[in-house]
Structure 1
Amino acid sequence: MARILAIDYGQKRCGIAVTDESKIIASGLTTVDTKNMISWLIEYTSKEDVELFVIGEPKRLHGEASESEQYIIPFLKKLHHEFPKIPVKRIDERFTSKIAFDTMITSGISKKKRRDKALVDQISATIILQDYLYNL
């Protein structure tokens, strides 16, 4: 069975989360340097069957696209070019970084580890994927 892979896209790095094969549980997988994202996805999809990419859609409070969207659009074009058979679903990612940080606090993660932006990105990707699964 195929998995669903979520990406919290950032200019420097991307948080990655993935479902189990039953598509019930979303788990943080890793963080990848943005410049290596496509090659990482090529390698990952050669080992794992992925049926859908869920990509965070950054929006401002009133729903309009944030300035970060200008960096995501070229990535989406490359993604479609490289993986034409894997559909992409966009999910509103407003507040995911804040929720991720709050989750780290309530989970008892140390102050030093909470400064790790890569961990925040990975948790954010997990939240994006959980939102998608919840709204199926």
Structure 2
Amino acid sequence: MGKILAIDYGVKRIGLAVTDDMQMIAFGLTTVATAEIFTYLADYIPKENVETIVVGEPKQMNNTASESEVHIVPFLVKLAEKFPTVPIKRHDERFTSKMAFQTMLDSGLKKKQRKNKALIDEISATIILQSYLSIA
């Protein structure tokens, strides 16, 4: 059984999370500059036996696509071209940034650490992945 990789796409940064080999637990992996993501993934995916990619799907409260979806669609096309054998799934990511920030508060991180947007992106990817696992 391979791992599942989650992506929290952003114009500047992409948060990444991954499961264990049994696909039971989501772990924060890292945050990568968007411009460097395909170089990172080309190394990571084959080395870590990633069998599925889950990409956050931003939606508005009325269940329509968020404005940021226009940036994600071209990314998804390129992702599918670069990794044609890896299935790509979408998963609702509403409220993940707020949940990530709350997680940081609950864990006792100092104010300066909570301003780390890269950490918020990584935690958001982890929340997306854990949520995906709970319904998969």
> Offset at 1:27?
0.3
Aligned to 1:93: 93
AA partner of residue 125 (structure 1): A
The residue matched to 1:102 in structure 2 has which SS?
helix
Q: 4+ residue runs of structure 1 moved beyond 4 angstroms?
A: none
1:38 is displaced (CA, Å) by: 1.1
Deviation of 1:76 (Å): 0.3
Secondary structure of the corresponding residue to residue 55 of structure 1 = strand
Residue 43 of structure 2 is matched in structure 1 by 43
Q: Superposed, which structure 2 residues align to 1:3-42 within 5 Å? A: 3-42=3-42
TM-score (norm 2): 0.98
Q: What is the RMSD computed on CA atoms of the aligned residues? A: 0.6
Q: Tell me how far apart the structure 1 counterparts of residues 94 and 51 of structure 2 sit (CA, whole Å).
A: 24
Calculate percent identity across the aligned residue pairs: 59
- Give 1:46 shift: 3.0
**Other-structure match for 1:102:** 102
Aligned equivalents of 1:38 and 1:67: distance in 2? Answer: 23
CA distance in 2, matches of 1:45, 1:129: 16
Q: Counterpart in 1 of 2:116?
A: 116
**One-letter amino acid of the structure 2 residue matched with residue 121 of structure 1:** D
Under a length normalisation based on structure 1, what TM-score does the superposition of the two structures give?
0.98
Aligned to 2:134: 134
Gap runs ≥5 in structure 2: none
Cα distance in structure 2, aligned partners of 1:73 and 1:97: 20
State how far apart, in whole Å, the 2-side matches of 1:58 and 1:45 are.
24
Q: Report the AA paired with residue 28 of structure 1.
A: G
In structure 2, give the amino acid aligned to 1:2. G
- Count the aligned residue pairs: 136
